[in-house]
Structure 1
Amino acid sequence: MAAAPRSRCDEPLVALAFLIACLWLCCAAVVADGTPWFWGGGGDPYCLTWRVMVEANNAKAWRTVPPQCVAYVAAYMAWGQYYRDVGAAAGLAAAYAAQIDMNADADDAWVLDVDDTCLSNQPYYQARQFGPYDPAAFKAWASRGACPGIPAVQWLFQTLKRRGFRVFLVTGRDEETLGPSTAANLLATGFSGYDRLIMRGSASRGASSVAFKSAVRKQLVADGYRIRGNVGDQWSDLQGDCVGDRAFKLPNPMYFVP
């Protein structure tokens, strides 16, 4: 008895099954050598898990990127996924800001961190293979005033200004040594028209980031501002006192600031 002829409707299903089988084989071959297909860069299978632990603040007080994850972090930061993740966070922050009824009895404010929130230090850290923090080397880098702006945060900053929010930039950089270069770098990358750039002075040197930024926010609240939103790449930007009505954490698997 002759077999029934195959319907044309079956052809797309056969082609799809063949494509899935090919993809599975390719992915299995790639994963077999320790480099998952979806990473875009090399590394150990541990690295994606490690980055999730970092962003969830489960991996506290880590000093450097694990050696086997350097290539993974470099690829994440440079090949697009980092910017997509930052863009998603900035989009959520802007959507939240659009829902806020501006309070006539208070100055509605947002607080933005600077390093790896407004300005990117990715070229510096990648050149150093994401090694331990070196105060002298970082000071030399920041003094150049050449940090690229982070596009999604530039957009968020302008969006907040158009909505009428007061925007304060708060950074742990030292005001005496890095004040002029930081202000010039921000201006060159489109961050102009903020209310104040607040940096560490002599009185706050040696204080933790949480303590320093808490004190700044407490003073803003004492001055009559209501902090509607707070944006930073470190958990220490978003912890402590007067953190604001809502906080938005940006990704940063390059370093940890306590």
Structure 2
Amino acid sequence: MSRQPLVTSPRARRVLTATATAVALAGAALFNTGEGTAGSSTPQTDRNIPNLDQVKTEIEAYYGDVETENGEHYASPDSSYAKQVRRIEDQIRRSLNQAAVNEADGKPALVVDVDDTTLLMYNFERRIGYDFTGRAQDKYLESTDANPVFGMPALVNRAHDKDIAVFFVTGREEYQRDWSVRNLKKAGYDVPVDKEHFFLDNTNNPPPYLECGSECTTVEYKSGTRKHIESRGYDILANVGDQYSDLKGGYADKTFKLPNPMYYIP
């Protein structure tokens, strides 16, 4: 039986508009090269708004939509999406390899998001028609394991093998932990996913290190969690996410944005 979240966190709300989708599709690979927005001005005519059905068709083409016999939809490893992701992963690897590890700064660490950063949610988004609800997410996470984002298990596992601590920081709710851990393990992430390394949103019982408590924005929650990680003696060499809100707020030497034209989280 699927569960409805008891609290709708501001950082769990998502925005899907044709404008947001088009902007995200053309988003830059690196966070500091420019930030997309979800429609920052009011269109003057309909010609200023991309047609939503056409944008959805473009998204499917970008992911190289593959339909299975049972009607499920998955991204192709030969898609434009997969190729773009792999180029960004190459940048992350080079950055980690070149990082000057200074013991005075702390133990080296890598922070990664979950949805559409380590686990590819394209199948879920196609199944729900990009119309997100907490109930639909619960049903999916409880019963279905998402595929990994192309190339990310190898990147994350290699970082761990090189003695770089890996931390997952997600906007998923705390009660979704077991489903999420199961999926990460099955997706090939051979790194610790215990409570010391996997941080989920806990609006019912927020941790004391988050001064904003249950009222945190996405940026406050994620940057506050990274601050907490660094307070434990780590130096975050790289922070990787698919949303700009995953990356803002500091507490990381470098930030890398993976593409996601499906939704926008402020």
TM-score (norm 1): 0.74
Aligned mates of 2:250, 2:96 — CA distance in 1:
21
Structure 2 residue 91 is matched with structure 1 residue 92: yes
Instruction: Give the equivalent residue in structure 2 for 1:233.
Output: 242
Q: 1:98-118: per-residue Cα shift (whole Å, max 9, x none)?
A: 112333332111100011001
Q: Does 1:126 align with 2:126?
A: yes
1:247 aligns to 2:255 (yes or no): yes
Structure 1 pair 75/88, CA: closer, same or farther in 2 (3 Å)?
Answer: same
Are the aligned partners of 2:128 and 2:136 in contact in 1 as well (CA < 8 Å)?
Answer: no
Between 104-113 and 166-175, report the one with greater CA deviation: 104-113
- Indicate conservation of the 8 Å contact 1:110/1:165, yes or no: yes
- Mapping 1:161-240, distance limit 5 Å: 161-176=160-175, 178-194=176-192, 196-201=197-202, 202=204, 203=206, 205-240=214-249
Cα offset for 1:73? 0.4
Q: Which amino acid aligns with 1:213?
A: K
Counterpart position of 1:69: 55
Higher relative contact order (CA 8 A, sep 6+): 2
What's the offset of the Cα at 1:50? 6.8
Hey, what does 2:13 align to over in structure 1? none
Question: Which residue in 2 is equivalent to 1:143?
Answer: 142
- Is residue 22–residue 261 contact of structure 2 (8 Å, CA) maintained in 1? no
What's the CA shift for 1:53? 5.6
Aligned twin of 2:113: 113
Match 1:57 to one of 24, 35, 42: 35
Q: Distance in 2 between matches of 1:61 and 1:185?
A: 33
Higher alpha-carbon Rg? 1
Aligned-partner Cα distance in 2 for 1:150–1:50: 17
The verdict on how the C-alpha distance between 1:65 and 1:249 changes in structure 2, with shifts beyond 3 A counting, is farther
Distance (Å, rounded) in 2 between the aligned partners of 1:53 and 1:150: 18
Return 5+ residue gaps in structure 1 as ranges: 1-43
1:207 and 1:115, CA in 2 relative to 1: closer, same or farther beyond 3 A?
same
Per-residue deviation, 1:208:
2.0
CA contact (8 A) 2:23 2:37 kept: no
Scaled by the length of structure 2, what TM-score is found? 0.72
Structure 2 residues without counterparts, runs of 5 or longer: 1-17, 41-49, 65-75, 207-212
Query: Structure 1 residues 109, 72: CA separation in 2 closer, same or farther (over 3 Å shift)?
Result: same
Cα distance change of structure 1 residues 97 and 205 upon mapping to structure 2, 3 Å threshold: same
Measure the CA separation in 2 of the matches of 1:191 and 1:162.
Answer: 12
Three-state SS of the structure 2 residue aligned to 1:151 is coil
Displacement after TM superposition at 1:255 (Å): 0.5
- Match of 1:102, SS state, is coil
Q: Which has the higher helix share?
A: 1
The 8 Å contact of residues 102 and 108 in structure 1, kept in 2 or not, is answered as: yes
Whether the 8 Å CA contact 2:23–2:36 is kept in 1: the answer is no
C-alpha distance after superposition, 1:147-180 (max 9, x if no partner): 111131111102211221011011111112x110
Percent of pairs with identical residues: 26
In 2, are the aligned partners of 1:65 and 1:130 still within 8 Å (CA)?
Answer: no
| Cα pair distance change 1:50/1:228, threshold 3 Å | closer
